């Protein structure tokens, strides 16, 4: 069976986007930006660059350094462009789904790149297919291109805004035209997206760490429900939706796991949030132990905070092999399981005859943590106490994080004591939701549906939807600035 035939109908993506306008050597800047965002997607990478007249692209399967090699930049002249790194959360790893996507409409070329998951994708796709539209990919990201080419939108003055207002779910989108770029963020602000200044030009990025990589200065976040246009006239801000229910739904898992520690996300330092989580975890779940050992890389800062608050020695008991990808974002359970033993190597002398506190960012399926407890036991650890830097993940995510099925979540059907027995630890302590909220600015503006089952927006096609643009009054941009 070919790879194409294996593509599922409804892939969910967790990705990274990067865009530039008015930046010399745009392909090099995009390459460096995507390289900094590689942690957000390791299956494929791509970019589209425009010289004011023509759009050219380079994209393929693999890491950024694999896709863009040799003299690729020489074939992509221009100072405008967008880039994308991707991982597909339901296994739809295929060349046809590599972004950015390009299409020729009546008014020329459009290129789009998307991070997120549209919960009404099936409905929109079905509507277009009934009208005779042909989809080239299996990803929901292609829908925006069909909207932009749709005659019913084409005749409207603000067709991008009109199209975005029909989307439901999570999205951070960048769009390239021959003379400008656009960027938009869903009304709940689920996915991050920021604007920066680079020389006389601008950059847009999923995370601020990519801005630092290219030497750009952070300006501000794209506001939830905002569409921005960057052109020779500068930055133009437009609103396509209000704030549903008067609150945002920023993904808390970005702070816990996905984002790089050197990013400034949702108005807070990821580094500080994670170390503060560790301190709070030590207060909530103290234990007599000899050493605190993190699971690299996303558990390191929480372990540092735990060690600082508890006074227990911090040691690197695991050494990560950086040539193995992040197992949580691998596309299949088989690939995640087979990579567990390759990803980390234990340092036996750190744990032998010791009472160990092992700190990790989360327990999702329980596959990796169980093996790591076992290897600690095999290397002579007297006790293994597991501490988790987030609450139990009991509910599915519908907005792009890779746990859509409750049956895959070990905490969904097990008590904390049962999880402890299953993974073979002496004790297990999860951070409480209250504890997590205590380290977040404006915690009411975060989505914690994976922990408490309370989602900020609809999780599937609903009969009675809110009209987003009418869901609240006032200026969404001013409201967001006041919150910040």
**The pair of three-digit structure tokens given for residue 289, joined into one six-digit string:** 């132990």
Strand partners, 81: 20, 49
Buried b or exposed e, range 261-273, using 16+ CB within 10 angstroms: bebbbbebbbbeb
Q: Residue 329: what are its φ and ψ, rounded to 5°?
A: -100, 15
15, 251, 457, 472: which one is catalytic? 15
Q: Is the dihedral of CA 318, 323, 324, 328 positive or negative?
A: positive
Where residue 169 falls (left for φ over 0; alpha for ψ -120 to 50; beta otherwise) is left
**The pair of three-digit structure tokens given for residue 400, joined into one six-digit string:** 């792009």
By the 10 Å C-beta count (0-12 exposed, 13-18 middle, 19+ buried), 355 is classed as middle
Give 385's contacts (C-beta < 8 A, 6+ positions apart): 287, 289, 355, 356, 357, 358, 425, 426, 427, 428, 429
Q: Determine if the peptide bond prior to 272 is cis (ω within 30°).
A: no
Q: Distance (Å, rounded) from C-alpha 438 to C-alpha 484?
A: 17
Q: Where are the alpha helices (DSSP H) in 37-189?
A: 64-67, 121-130, 143-149, 151-154, 159-165
Please name which of 351, 301, 299, 307 lies closest in space to residue 328, comparing C-alpha atoms.
Answer: 299
Size of the chain, expressed as the number of residues it contains: 484
Is 15 labeled as catalytic in the residue annotation? yes
Hey, which residues are catalytic here? 15
């Amino acid at each position: 069976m070919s790879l194409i035939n294996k593509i599922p109908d409804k892939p969910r993506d967790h990705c990274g986007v990067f865009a530039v306008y008015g930046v010399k050597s745009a392909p090099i800047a995009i390459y460096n930006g995507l390289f900094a965002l590689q942690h957000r997607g390791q299956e494929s990478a791509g970019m589209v660059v425009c010289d004011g007249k023509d759009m050219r692209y380079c994209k393929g399967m693999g890491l950024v350094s694999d896709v863009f090699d040799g003299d690729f930049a020489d074939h992509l002249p221009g100072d405008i462009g967008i880039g994308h790194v991707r991982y597909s959360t339901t296994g739809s790893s295929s060349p046809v789904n590599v972004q950015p996507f390009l299409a020729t409409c009546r008014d020329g070329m459009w290129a789009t790149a998307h991070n997120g998951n549209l919960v009404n994708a099936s409905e929109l796709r079905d509507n277009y297919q009934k009208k005779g539209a042909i989809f080239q990919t299996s990803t929901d990201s292609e829908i925006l291109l069909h909207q932009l080419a749709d005659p019913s939108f084409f005749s409207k003055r603000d067709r991008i805004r009109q199209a975005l207002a029909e989307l439901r779910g999570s999205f951070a989108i960048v769009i390239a035209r021959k003379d400008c770029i656009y960027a938009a963020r869903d009304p709940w602000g689920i996915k991050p997206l920021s604007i920066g200044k680079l020389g006389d030009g601008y950059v847009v990025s999923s995370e601020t760490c990519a801005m630092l990589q290219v030497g750009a200065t952070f300006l501000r976040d794209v506001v939830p429900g905002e569409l921005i246009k960057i052109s020779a006239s500068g930055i133009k801000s437009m609103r396509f939706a209000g704030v549903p229910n008067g609150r945002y739904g920023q993904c808390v898992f970005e702070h816990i796991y996905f984002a790089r520690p050197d990013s400034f996300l949702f108005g807070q330092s990821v580094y500080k949030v994670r170390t503060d989580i560790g301190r709070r975890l030590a207060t909530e779940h103290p234990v007599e132990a000899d050493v605190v050992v993190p699971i690299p890389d996303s558990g390191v800062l929480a372990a540092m905070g735990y060690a600082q608050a508890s006074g227990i020695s911090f040691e690197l008991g695991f050494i990560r092999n950086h040539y193995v990808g992040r197992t949580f974002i691998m596309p299949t359970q088989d690939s995640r399981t087979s990579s567990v033993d390759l990803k980390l190597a234990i340092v036996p002398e750190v744990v032998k005859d010791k009472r160990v506190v092992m700190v990790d960012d989360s327990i999702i399926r329980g596959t990796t943590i169980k093996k790591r407890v076992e290897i600690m036991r095999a290397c002579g650890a007297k006790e293994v106490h597991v501490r988790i830097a987030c609450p139990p993940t009991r509910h599915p995510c519908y907005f792009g994080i890779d746990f859509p099925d409750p049956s895959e979540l070990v905490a969904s059907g097990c008590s904390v004591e049962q999880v402890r027995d299953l993974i073979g630890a002496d004790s297990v302590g999860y951070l409480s939701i209250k504890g997590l909220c205590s380290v977040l600015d404006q915690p009411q503006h975060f989505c914690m549906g994976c922990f408490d089952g309370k989602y900020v927006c609809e999780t599937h096609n609903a009969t009675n939807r809110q009209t987003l643009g009418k869901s609240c009054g006032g200026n969404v941009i001013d409201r967001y600035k006041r919150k910040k």
